Amino acid sequence: MHTALLAAALLVGCLLAVQASVNLQLNSAVGTPYGASTIQLGVATGLLTVLAVAAGALGALGRLPDVEAWQLLGGLASPLYITSGILLFPRLGALAAVGLFVTGQMFASLTLDLFGLLGLERQDLSAGIVIGALAVLAGIVVIIRGMKATAPPGAPRTSSAGRVGRLALGVLAGAALPVQGAVNAQLRAQLKEPITVAVISFAVATFTIAVVLLVLYATRRTPKPRIAPLKKMPWWGWLGGACAAAYVTGTFLLMPTIGAAVTIALTVTGQQLTSALIDHKGLFKLPQRSLTRPRALGLVLLIAGSLTIQLV
């Protein structure tokens, strides 16, 4: 049973990488990343609501008056993460983008743990944490430095400012996930129902990105979302919402059973292995980027660092 749970945690991480990849197809159909994010988050909210109704968990909403306002804001991280994936995957590749996300996740998690922020128990700095953090940092540096060698033919050149901006966006989007997890953990302590917490988180995320879409469209900074092309989209283009719902539900259910550290370590490993496969094979219509020796080394360093930080 324990082995099955560990495999489930690894699979949940794989789904997060798949989510970011298939969302590009949704973006291609809709014509705007903000519209694609709104649809994907709306699908995830609907799926989680059905699950919550089936489980009889929505009664926990009656406890909302006792919840502090900031504990409802965990969902703000989801639109940032999803939209960043849509923007970064075709430009950086799955492995580099996920590497940036993981780097942000790891260092944000360390900050929360070492300083005891957002209700988390404070942890002491250890040799394993330092070694793991350095390995993660070295891994992403190796992968980013090797990006030019694996860029698809004819790929446009990016200015230094644009390159730095994309790297910063990837790290920031990844860093938002542990903060989201910590905020949602506080909400779960109040409501006692993890699935209800997931519904609230995704409902907040959907509302937020929908408002952003409306504002950007009203100010002519993004085109009007297209609906007709959705009918011709491949079936797997709709998997993003299901993957997001599965990831949130899976992590909520796994953490109390196998522990937060093991869950994070395995989900992050799943993310990185799947992103490397997607890049190498050019899956989901992404540009193919070979797994060269430097990229393989960077991948190994990222995984080793992530495991060291969480498990040593």
pLDDT value of residue 35: 94
Q: Do residues 270 and 13 lie in contact, with contact meaning Cβ atoms separated by under 8 Å? A: yes
Task: Identify the weakest region by mean pLDDT among 161-165, 193-197, 214-218.
Answer: 161-165
- For the cut 80, the answer to whether the pLDDT of residue 158 exceeds it is no
Mean predicted confidence (pLDDT) in 54-62: 92
Mean predicted confidence (pLDDT) in 225-236: 89
- For the cut 90, the answer to whether the pLDDT of residue 295 exceeds it is no
Distance CA 125, CA 115 (A): 10
Q: How many residues does the chain have?
A: 312
pLDDT value of residue 126: 84
Where helices occur in 93-193 by DSSP H, the ranges are 94-115, 127-145, 147-150, 160-191
For residue 238, what are its two tokens? 């709709």
User: 75-112 in b/e burial notation, b at 16+ Cβ within 10 A?
Assistant: bbbbbbbbbbbbbbbbbbbbbbbbbbbbbbbbbbbbeb
pTM for the structure as a whole: 0.85
pLDDT value of residue 152: 52
Distance CA 43, CA 201 (A): 13
Burial (0-12, 13-18, 19+ Cβ within 10 Å), 23:
buried
Distance CA 185, CA 113 (A): 14
Q: Do residues 70 and 96 lie in contact, with contact meaning Cβ atoms separated by under 8 Å? A: no
**C-alpha closest to that of 43 among 239, 282, 194:** 239
Q: How confident is the model at residue 185 (pLDDT cuts 50, 70, 90)?
A: confident
Q: In the predicted model, what is the mean pLDDT of the chain?
A: 87
Mean predicted confidence (pLDDT) in 159-165: 80
Cβ neighbours, 10 Å, residue 24:
22
Where helices occur in the chain by DSSP H, the ranges are 2-30, 33-55, 77-92, 94-115, 127-145, 147-150, 160-191, 194-218, 239-258, 260-281, 293-311
Task: Write out pLDDT tens, residues 99-118.
Answer: 999 899 888 888 888 888 88
Give the amino acid at 124: D
Q: How confident is the model at residue 231 (pLDDT cuts 50, 70, 90)?
A: confident
Query: Which residues fall within 8 angstroms of residue 291, CB to CB, at 6 or more apart?
Result: 95, 276, 279, 280, 299
Query: Which residues fall within 8 angstroms of residue 11, CB to CB, at 6 or more apart?
Result: 250, 270
Task: Write out pLDDT tens, residues 276-287.
Answer: 999 889 888 888
